[in-house]
Chain A
Amino acid sequence: MAGVGLGPLRAMGRQALLLLALCATGARGLYFHIGETEKRCFIEEIPDETMVIGNYRTQMWDKQKEVFLPSTPGLGMHVEVKDPDGKVVLSRQYGSEGRFTFTSHTPGDHQICLHSNSTRMALFAGGKLRVHLDIQVGEHANNYPEIAAKDKLTELQLRARQLLDQVEQIQKEQDYQRYREERFRLTSESTNQRVLWWSIAQTVILILTGIWQMRHLKSFFEAKKLV
């Protein structure tokens, strides 16, 4: 590679980028159907400082042709991401094809909600939208060819980097596990305390109510001169 001049290299790079871009837009795996104003939510339970990348592509149902149009400009999807405390981390409107990224700062259940607020669907009727979705979390979100190119790693170094990333993910998950277990223990201990105190309280209330009943009735019957 050392003997090649910069000119042809740059042209090669541009062509490569173009083709890679074509590759990226074509490939989406899983898809599902969504109604007009329907909201679909997905939950990702992740440790903190974990990156999540989501890619989606939408296609609209054409009622006349009874087929899904390959790509429809003008369609919009609203993506909202909430962290475990309910705070909104990301709330943005994207086009008919989009990519959203966020990094978690607190461990726990993050909710990713998608809904279409496009009014064009009402005009075309049918009201069905096909959404291709791909969500990658943590280590799966890393783009290894990009990392190899940026840091100029050999194949072996890249493999080692992948192993390091996996181990880091495992460590984060284990820390998160410790945090979850502590929450679980607190909840169990709270239940234990509640059961204990409520049982004692109910027994005391029962005894007191019984005593009150007897005394009240005794005084009632004495007033009636039946006792």
Chain B
Amino acid sequence: MGSAAPRSASVLLLLLLLLLLRAEQPRGAELTFELPDNAKQCFHEEVEQGVKFSLDYQVITGGHYDVDCYVEDPQGNTIYRETKKQYDSFTYRAEVKGVYQFCFSNEFSTFSHKTVYFDFQVGDEPPILPDMGNRVTALTQMESACVTIHEALKTVIDSQTHYRLREAQDRARAEDLNSRVSYWSIGETIALFVVSFSQVLLLKSFFTEKRPISRAVHS
């Protein structure tokens, strides 16, 4: 009974610590968004000093499957800039604490709107229970086996994601090809008919004009 008060105090302290640590808590964002033609879209995130962040992006559908991308630090310096890239990966250790922004631009394209996927990871993955971060003893064999399996499964999920994105890209191209085959075939058939009829008409017109003259000559 007597241990209740200091225990509740320690829990409160732990939670307060959690609240403070929240500012530094590692985060990750994985989004797929639509980028209309002639548009630019920017995303911002606050990063602490010394924390490593990584940006992976890939264009899934649209046009020539390329996009411009640049990353700026809080002072406005461009730390990464690429034009017309299909996919890329960029890691950087933040030297300055502040809001970093990364933008995707489709301003070079006039009529194709694109779908872009990006994965922005800041810092390391947080532990599933807050306690796990403040261990004093070493991990037991079971726990380190769990950690190994977890890391391996994360790799599997990552490669599944990349495979899914490439497959989505291929499927979009295949469906585009399928519809284009239909339209072009119908268009070509119509063109064929138009050309053959106009050929015959044109040929007939060469010989039809001379008729009144030849009749006058014959009579």
Contacts and interface: CB of A to CB of B under 8 A. Distances in A.
Given A23-B18, A187-B174, A33 B42 contact: yes
Contacts of B142: 156
Nearest to B28: A29
A65 interface: no
A166 interface: yes
Given A5-B4, A19-B19, A159-B128, A191 B149 contact: no
B157 to A, nearest CB: 6
A12 B203 CA distance: 98
Interface in A143-181: 144-145, 148, 155-156, 158-160, 162-163, 166-167, 169-170, 173-174, 176-177, 180-181
Question: Which has the most chain B C-beta neighbours within 10 Å: A26, A159, A213?
Answer: A159
A172 to B, nearest CB: 10
Given A30-B120, A41-B34, A23 B45 contact: no
A20 B11 CA distance: 12
A3 B150 CA distance: 36
B32 interface: yes
A19 B15 contact: yes
Interface string B144-168: 0011011001101100100110011
B168 to A, nearest CB: 6
Contact of A40 (B18, B33, B45, B129): B33
Given A158-B129, A159-B146, A43 B8 contact: no
A190 interface: yes
Interface in B160-205: 160, 163-164, 167-168, 170-171, 174-175, 177-178, 181-182, 185, 188-189, 192-193, 196, 199-200, 203-204
B138 interface: no
B71 interface: no
Nearest to A156: B142
B216 interface: no
Given A4-B3, A11-B8, A195-B181, A22 B19 contact: yes
Interface residues of A, number: 73
B143 A32 contact: no
A202 B120 CA distance: 51
Interface stretch (A69-77, A80-88, A216-224): A216-224
A190 B3 contact: no
A19 B178 contact: no
A221 B3 CA distance: 116
B132 A155 contact: yes
A210 B203 CA distance: 14
Interface in A41-69: 41-45
Contacts of A217: 200, 203-204
A155 B147 CA distance: 12
A122 to B, nearest CB: 23
Scoring A29, A133, A194 by chain B CB atoms within 10 A of each residue's CB, the highest score goes to A29
B200 A202 contact: no
B109 interface: no
B43 A173 contact: no
A162 B19 contact: no
A155 B178 contact: no
Contacts of B5: 8
Contacts of A187: 171, 174-175, 178
A167 B154 CA distance: 10
Given A8-B8, A156-B143, A194-B178, A224 B43 contact: no
Given A145-B128, A180-B171, 8 more contacts: A19-B12, A20-B15, A31-B43, A43-B34, A166-B150, A195-B181, A216-B200, A217-B200
15 contacts: A12-B12, A16-B11, A16-B15, A19-B19, A20-B15, A30-B31, A44-B32, A145-B129, A155-B129, A163-B153, A166-B150, A173-B160, A177-B163, A216-B200, A217-B200
Chain A to chain B: the 6 pairs with minimum beta-carbon distance, closest first: A29-B27, A198-B185, A8-B4, A144-B128, A19-B15, A159-B146
